[in-house]
Amino acid sequence: METLCLNSSETQIAAEILQRGGIVAVPTETVYGLAANAFDLQAIKKIFVAKGRPSDNPLIVHISDKDKIYEVVSSFPEKASYLAEKLWPGPLTMILPKNPRIPHSVTGGLDSVAVRLPAHFVIQEIIKKSGFPLVAPSANLSGSPSPTNFSHVFEDLNGRVDAILDAGECSIGLESTVISFLEDPPRLLRPGAITPQEIETLIGPIIIDDSVYSKLKPEEKVLSPGTKYKHYSPKAKVVILKGTSEKYAEFLNSLSSENIIALCFNQDIPLLKIPYISYGDSSNSSEQAKKLFSSLREADKFFPQIIYAHCCRNEGVGIAVYNRLVRAAGFKIIKL
Ligand code: TXA
Ligand code: MG
């Protein structure tokens, strides 16, 4: 298939491709998404094929107008509606009972649906011009790091999708916060740029699902099917090192004859005697969020055997960075 490359003013062309049942990679403020008409069974099938995504991993439905939420859900509890009022448009996805019109192929057979109103004007414009909500999983091959710019999407999906729309770098760089309202208190299933603290300030206590910090045990019930698959992994093996800059550099410098690369903080650079890529300042979680996925892809270009990542702070937005990093590393952490 020939993939058309569009610029950010060509939203009408993107909308027309979607109306004809095509699939188009589009920017959002979090990561690029691979969009299709949420009511078109054939188009939805194409998304799973293009990404190589398991069919029981459900998709997020994106809307451009809060008032249209009942096209997607069958109920909208008070706490969810309050969060929507305060945090939409933005990087927040809510799990709610689904409207019968939403096909089960979107929800992986579940009776719930994930819904989000993204803040990026390009996807908002495309939804409005298409005239229907859009499913949009991250626009990467299943398992690889999510794409935060056009070239990441092109690398993974050129020849597999109808079009890719280029609107530069995503401002956040990690996928949205996912919170389920199928129970009360609500349950955080995936951390993102909107932090648990921010949510609790607005709606009171929430539960953080065990899968946010640790690997699920085989007998545990999977609430967010996405968490059971290998995720965010570059081609090289990733190992996390936890400790000070000095200990991190000392450990890596002693391995300098090996084919490795450091995924470090700016503060580590003067101490390192091996190849490195920095994913930001050690105290700036938002910067790390923005750079993590592109740094993992960049590190792969050196064809290292192992990427040694310096462990980030696990608080605020850092919870989301840590969550993606431990998954990329298959939960391998060495304490120095
Ligand atoms: O920021 C984002 O959310 C991006 C942009 C493109 O909007 N999208 C994204 O989609 O990250 P995806 O498909 O890569 O991740 C969706 C996550 C998966 O972990 C999936 O299992 C979960 O949301 N999910 C979707 N529907 C669900 C449901 N009904 N119940 C529980 N989890 C659900
Ligand atoms: Mg994804």
pTM, two decimal places: 0.96
Separation between Cα atoms, residue 55 and residue 48, nearest integer Å: 7
pLDDT surpassing 90 at residue 37: yes
Is any atom of ligand 1 closer than 6 Å to the C-beta of 115? no
Separation between Cα atoms, residue 292 and residue 289, nearest integer Å: 6
Nearest CA to ligand 1 atom 32: 224
Ligand 2 center to 66 CA (angstroms): 24
| Segment 108-149, tens digit of pLDDT | 999 999 999 999 999 999 999 999 999 999 999 998 999 999
Predicted pLDDT of residue 234 = 77
Is any atom of ligand 1 closer than 6 Å to the C-beta of 59? yes
- If you write DSSP's letter for every residue of 168-211 in order, what string do you get? ---SS-SPPEEEE-SSSS-EEEE--SS-HHHHHHHH---EEPGG
pLDDT surpassing 70 at residue 230: no
Separation between Cα atoms, residue 305 and residue 259, nearest integer Å: 6
Handedness of CA 287, 32, 109, 230 (dihedral sign): negative
Residue 309 and residue 299 in contact, taking contact as beta carbons nearer than 8 Å: no
- If you average pLDDT over each of 21-35, 201-215, 220-234, which comes out highest? 21-35
In eight-state DSSP terms, residue 162 is S
| Segment 237-257, tens digit of pLDDT | 999 999 999 999 999 999 988
Ligand 2 center to 186 CA (angstroms): 22
Is any atom of ligand 1 closer than 6 Å to the C-beta of 176? yes
Cα-based distances in Å from 45 to 14, 36, 144, 302: 19, 10, 20, 35
Q: In the chain, where are the structural domains located? A: 4-212, 237-335
Architecture of domain 4-212: Alpha-Beta Complex (3.90)
pLDDT surpassing 90 at residue 221: no
pLDDT surpassing 80 at residue 232: no
Q: Decide which of 8 and 258 is more confident.
A: 8
Is any atom of ligand 1 closer than 6 Å to the C-beta of 179? no
Closest of 208, 263, 259 to residue 232, by C-alpha: 263
Predicted pLDDT of residue 100 = 97
Separation between Cα atoms, residue 145 and residue 297, nearest integer Å: 7
Ligand nearest to the CA of 189: 1
Tokens for 263? 């995924």
pLDDT surpassing 90 at residue 14: yes
Ligand 2 center to 54 CA (angstroms): 11
| Segment 310-321, tens digit of pLDDT | 999 999 999 999
Ligand 2 center to 137 CA (angstroms): 6
**Hunting for tokens 């996912």 — which residue is that?**
178
pLDDT surpassing 70 at residue 219: no
Mutation probe of ligand 1 site: the residue of 74, 93, 156, 221 with most atoms within 8 A of C-beta = 93
Nearest CA to ligand 1 atom 21: 226
Buried b (16+ CB within 10 A) or exposed e, 225-257: bbbbeebbbbebbbbbbeeebeebbeebeeeee
Is any atom of ligand 1 closer than 6 Å to the C-beta of 286? no
Q: What is the mean pLDDT of the chain?
A: 95
Weakest mean pLDDT among 72-81, 221-230, 263-272: 221-230
Report the atom number in ligand 1 closest to the C-alpha of 174.
1
Pairing of strands 276-278, 92-97: unpaired
pLDDT surpassing 90 at residue 84: yes
Ligand nearest to the CA of 174: 1
Nearest CA to ligand 1 atom 3: 176
| Segment 280-331, tens digit of pLDDT | 999 999 999 999 999 999 999 999 999 999 999 999 999 999 999 999 999 9
Ligand 2 center to 173 CA (angstroms): 12
Separation between Cα atoms, residue 21 and residue 207, nearest integer Å: 39
Portion of the chain with pLDDT greater than 90, in percent: 90
Nearest CA to ligand 1 atom 10: 137
Q: At what angle do helices 196-203 and 78-87 cross, to 10 degrees?
A: 120
Architecture of domain 237-335: 3-Layer(aba) Sandwich (3.40)
| Segment 151-201, tens digit of pLDDT | 999 999 999 999 999 999 999 999 999 999 999 999 999 999 999 999 999
